[in-house]
Structure 1
Amino acid sequence: MPNSRRKFIINAGLATAAIGAGNLKSFAFPSYARVHKGSAVRIGWITDVHHGFMKDATRRLQAFLAAASQRKLDFILQGGDFCHPTPEAEPFVQLWNQYKGERYHVLGNHDMDLGTKEEVMELWGMKEKYYSFDKGDFHFVVLDCNYILKDGQYVDYANSNYYIDQQQRDLINPEQIDWLKNDLEKTNKQCIIISHQAFDEIWDGWSVPNRHLVRKVIDDANNRSDFKK
């Protein structure tokens, strides 16, 4: 889109055909949320399966993967609270890995109830806590807001250290904010930002307490002079 302002998508339905439950944690200006014919990206999205807590987790994942396999999808994504890093979860992750197409992970707060973030990532085969990738006309950004503030330091969730005052948890760390700013500066594509936690005001009390930092980066990116009409 060299001659038009970059746009953030406000609704997953504008860009995808989604399977299962999912939350799009992104911001946009509705009047700019246009998708041109032929640019659609098809996603299979499932979240909060909670293996090890919900008895039907495996059944629900099986149903999701069966439906995804019958469609021509660009990728599937699980939005967090997938499973703990325990031996009991290994067959569950193997089930996910049997899907033949591209697969992506998002870290959720409860994934670290029984282990560290690094242990979760190792089990999932997840290389980075936060990352981005392109698909079609879209740039997808996956963020990690699973940090607590302890003694002035941003600390990874691990072994249920999440259960503290809400204003000290579900935070995004400063290094990630800098990374996000740099990442968005490098793309001309329409952007979709994904996180297990919310960045809006509607969910105040459950949203990321320092969400204004993310929103500022998005506003600055949307108002860059080289993307204005």
Structure 2
Amino acid sequence: MPYVNPPLQRRVFLRNGTLVMAAASCGAAPLNATQLYGDETGDELRIGLVTDLHYADKPPGGSRHYRKTLGKLEEAGRQFESDNPAFIVELGDLIDAADSVATERRYLNTINREFSQLCDQRHYVLGNHCVDTLTKDEFLGSVGQPKSYYSFDQGDYHFVVLDSCFRSDGQPYQRKNFTWTDANIPAAELDWLAADLKATNKHVIVFAHQRLDLDNHYAVKNSAAVRKTLETAGNVLAVFQGHSHRNDLNEIGGIHYCTLVAMVEGATMENNGYSMMSLSPNGTIRLKGYREQQDRHLLKQ
């Protein structure tokens, strides 16, 4: 059995009004140490983050300007080209709902054609809008990702991608067969998560769409059980999530839950939101937010 670090000791405090936890080349080829942790400091792994693009070729709906995300993503891409992340994670709702499979496929092909140019190594978290009309296999096949939940290692970190797009009865979201407030992580995925976390001795970062830090309609319905699994593992530093379209940061059981702002909100480029996460080998997490996305600084001692 592989060695697993004992539970990490954490302290949480405020620094300049920000909650603080005391505690590359953007391509498919293996990265050397300098590329992996950054050219300037030599000790950081950089990851680009975007969420809730909701791209659709249709008029605005309230504060959501669906067509504008193409230009907003282009701006984010220019910043990512400068920041040179090891990989990019899209935290769900890449597309918005459509009234037919053909239309939703067109939305997906259009936005993913642009998104796929940003980085060779990309990770897609399923959001409820991603599978409103499509099936999971159709969405994943279009973006070239084999699984909806999985894990991978890079440097000193272990990353987990979760899929909460399941109904309470365990059936997967697809073809308008669900209510968006009925989001769940089924027993099989929860068992996999517990085993996966137990098998690593690295720092763990979790990526999700629906929120794991709340108990309202934006949350995974069995979020308490998911949080218990994360806390029991003792090696999870933070969860990065989307879905509610606003900046938020909570600490529960020694784990930070960082909610990122949606790219689709607002008509102008000033309303854009995206971020670059920098991870140090000692567990320090820095989030540089652009436009509407707030900066975060999480430290482990």
TM-score interval (norm. to shorter): 0.7 to 0.9
State the partner residue of 1:63: 75
Pairwise CA distance, 1:4:
5.8
Pairwise CA distance, 1:101:
3.7
Q: 1:43·1:73 contact (CA, 8 Å) conserved in 2?
A: yes
Corresponding pairs, count: 194
CA distance in 2, matches of 1:175, 1:55: 37
Pairwise CA distance, 1:219:
2.0
Written as runs of structure 1 = structure 2, the 5 A alignment for 1:1-229 is: 5-7=6-8, 30-32=21-23, 39-52=43-56, 54-83=66-95, 85-149=104-168, 153-163=169-179, 166=181, 169-201=182-214, 204-222=216-234
Pairwise CA distance, 1:141:
0.5
Q: 1:82·1:111 contact (CA, 8 Å) conserved in 2?
A: yes
Give 3-state SS (helix, strand or coil) of 2:45's partner.
coil
The structure-2 alpha-carbon separation of the partners of 1:6 and 1:160, relative to structure 1 and needing over 3 Å to count, comes to: same
Determine which structure has the larger strand proportion and give its number.
Answer: 2
**Where in structure 2 are there 5+ consecutive unaligned residues?**
13-19, 24-40, 59-65, 97-103, 236-301
Amino acid at match of 1:115: L
Amino acid at match of 2:191: D
Amino acid at match of 1:78: E
**Where in structure 1 are there 5+ consecutive unaligned residues?**
12-28, 224-229
Give 3-state SS (helix, strand or coil) of 2:44's partner.
coil
Q: 2:157·2:203 contact (CA, 8 Å) conserved in 1?
A: yes
Summarize deviations over 1:122-170 as a string: whole Å, max 9, x none: 1111110101111221111010000112xxx301111222326x3xx11
Q: 1:8·1:190 contact (CA, 8 Å) conserved in 2?
A: no
CA distance in 1, matches of 2:211, 2:47: 20
The structure-2 alpha-carbon separation of the partners of 1:171 and 1:43, relative to structure 1 and needing over 3 Å to count, comes to: same
Summarize deviations over 1:82-136 as a string: whole Å, max 9, x none: 0264134313212212224421111001111222111111111111010111122
The structure-2 alpha-carbon separation of the partners of 1:71 and 1:30, relative to structure 1 and needing over 3 Å to count, comes to: closer
Determine which structure has the larger helix proportion and give its number.
Answer: 1
The structure-2 alpha-carbon separation of the partners of 1:10 and 1:210, relative to structure 1 and needing over 3 Å to count, comes to: farther
CA distance in 2, matches of 1:8, 1:42: 24
Give 3-state SS (helix, strand or coil) of 2:83's partner.
coil
- What is the TM-score when the length of structure 1 is the normalising length? 0.75
The structure-2 alpha-carbon separation of the partners of 1:219 and 1:94, relative to structure 1 and needing over 3 Å to count, comes to: same
Paired-residue identity, %: 30
Summarize deviations over 1:176-208 as a string: whole Å, max 9, x none: 00110111111101111110011113x633211
State the partner residue of 2:286: none
- RMSD over aligned Cα atoms: 2.7
- What is the TM-score when the length of structure 2 is the normalising length? 0.58
CA distance in 2, matches of 1:190, 1:101: 24
CA distance in 2, matches of 1:9, 1:86: 45
